Structures are given as C-alpha cells and as structure tokens.
Amino acid sequence: MTNLKKNNGIWLDKMELPELFKVAKSKETLTPPKIAGTIGGPYLTKLKGRGMEFAEARPYQPGDDVRHIDWRVTARTGRTHTKLYREERERPVMLVLDQCRQMFFGSRKRLKSVQAARMAALMGWRALLRGDRVGGILFSEKLHYEFRPRGDRRHYLRLLSKIMTEHNRIADEMKYDQWSFGSKYQFSEALIRVRHLVQPGSLVYIFSDFPSFDEECRKHMFQLSKHNQLEVYLLSDPLEKEAPSSGNYVMSDGKSNAWINSSNTNTRRLYAAAYEKLQQSLSEELQSCRITLNLLSTVDSLFQPGK
C-alpha cells in the first residue's frame, strides 16, 4: 500500500476498525438502519434473550410447551417428557463480510467494502461489550477465512487485522490493474460455510451488495434463519441508485465497457427503476425467509449523538 491516507475511504487505516471500540462503548447510539419492506403476520422470532442450550429432560407437566417434548425419552420411558433449557452466558455472534470485487466501488466518501468493514467492526465491538463471543467469515472470489467465535479481545483484534490486510491487498491489486476476474463469485458457497460453522442460537450479521443472490442462496438463508437470528445489510452507493448528472459516461464491470447518456430523462428513469427492482426483489426473497433487509449506503453515518 502506497501513500495511504488515514480514513480516505479507499483503504482501511491500521487503527480505523480498532478505534471503533471507542464508539461502541460511548453513549452515542447507532443510526437506525433503513429497512426495505416489512414482515407481515403474527411472526415472533424463535430466539428470545441471549439464546438457550439444553439442560435436562423431566416428566411433562401441565402448561409446558408441547414443542419442547423430548420424543426420544418419551418413547424410551413410556412417559411424556419435556426438555428444559438454560440461558447461555455468551451468545455466538458471526460477522459475514463480502470482499468480492463488486464491493470495491464508491462514488462518495468511501467504498462499499470500507463501509461494510466499519459496520461489521462496530457490531463486533458491541457484541464483545455485551459479553458475547465474536467470530467472522471473510470471502471473495479468491479467499476464504474463518474465525470461530471467541470472547477474547485479542482474538477479535486478529480478525479485524485480517479484514484490513485482505481489504487493502485487494484494493492495491485493483489500483495497479492486477485483479483477475477468472474466478466465479459464488455467494451460495460462502453461505454453506456459514451454516457449517455457526451454532444454533447465534446472531449472524451478513454484509454484502448481493450481486448474485439466487434460489440456492435463498435456501441457505432460510435454513440459517430457522435456528439463528440474521441481520442482513445491503450495501449500496448513491451512484447505483441514481444516474450521474447530465452527460455521457462510460461504465465498466472490469470486463467490458458501456456508454450511458444521462441527459435523457427516460434513461435516468430506467436507471433508477432497475436498481429499485433489484432491491425490492431481494427484500421479498428475504422476507420469505423471515429476514428483514437493512439498507446501508456509503454515505451513511454509523452513529448519531445520543443521551
């Protein structure tokens, strides 16, 4: 990394993520995320409090929840038994961070990848302060790293260091045109690893711009949501939502180029409608999994003054 300017929005400074600890423990509060759509119906999350773990089975008593009947013990003893649970002292929290090439885009303030790393780091610090265990999964077309949840601050700092190192390495490769587009991006494969790694009752944060969300991804999300609480953040940039000011512009996905004339009113309308359609489609897919989609832009502040 050359000529790194602290907090320049392109590279992550060495202390940018660790210093968010000060924000996490302060009296300042997170800016409430914008939510795409709502979940209708009398749905209540399966997770209450900090998660539960099995303690023992005892004979069924009137008033016990029938959903907690232990059918194996009941069949073995011939008498109905119910499972008892105890509250976990520490709740596993998993940060799932997309570092694919589409995330390395931004027209104002910072890249989507930088904003995602900042929000993930802040959520992780807050989890540690609550006494929870924090882990993470980083993935891109070329890399995959897993950190199992632990309540150790040094372990979390190693995770943040890996996020910074890999992010800046990719940013350097893109700057010097060394980035290869040969590997296919498979978000579903990352979700398979998430399902394998997380324990039931975990809180899972997912940060991505979801460029290839498909039916396979939806199935994995649905399975994750059955036994865990999911907080999904869609990263975006203002330029993705609205065409630039009037003029002719060239756009590229790294493979091919296309010209757009934003002076045309109809072009601007179609441009905005295309992104709105993608966002709405993702929101509806996640709602079918009982997951609410949170919106996070590159220009958003992560916190606001509080009491």
187 and 270 fall within a common domain: yes
111 and 73 fall within a common domain: no
73 and 182 fall within a common domain: no
203 and 98 fall within a common domain: yes
Into how many domains does the chain fold? Answer: 2
Over residues 151-170, the pLDDT tens digits come to 999 999 999 999 999 999 99
81 and 114 fall within a common domain: no
pLDDT-derived band at 43, boundaries 50, 70, 90: very low
Over residues 241-271, the pLDDT tens digits come to 998 888 888 877 667 788 888 888 898 899 8
138 and 158 fall within a common domain: yes
Range of the domain at 204: 20-30+91-304
Q: Would you state the pLDDT for residue 293?
A: 93
Cα dihedral 151, 111, 290, 137 sign: negative
For the cut 80, the answer to whether the pLDDT of residue 61 exceeds it is yes
Q: Would you state the pLDDT for residue 84?
A: 81
Q: Would you state the pLDDT for residue 47?
A: 43
- 4 inside domain: no
Residue 185's φ and ψ, nearest 5 degrees, are -80, 120
170 and 69 fall within a common domain: no
- 248 inside domain: yes
For the cut 70, the answer to whether the pLDDT of residue 72 exceeds it is yes
78 and 134 fall within a common domain: no
* Mean pLDDT, residues 292-301: 94
128 and 61 fall within a common domain: no
Least confident of 65-74, 113-122, 218-227: 65-74
158 and 255 fall within a common domain: yes
For the cut 90, the answer to whether the pLDDT of residue 19 exceeds it is yes
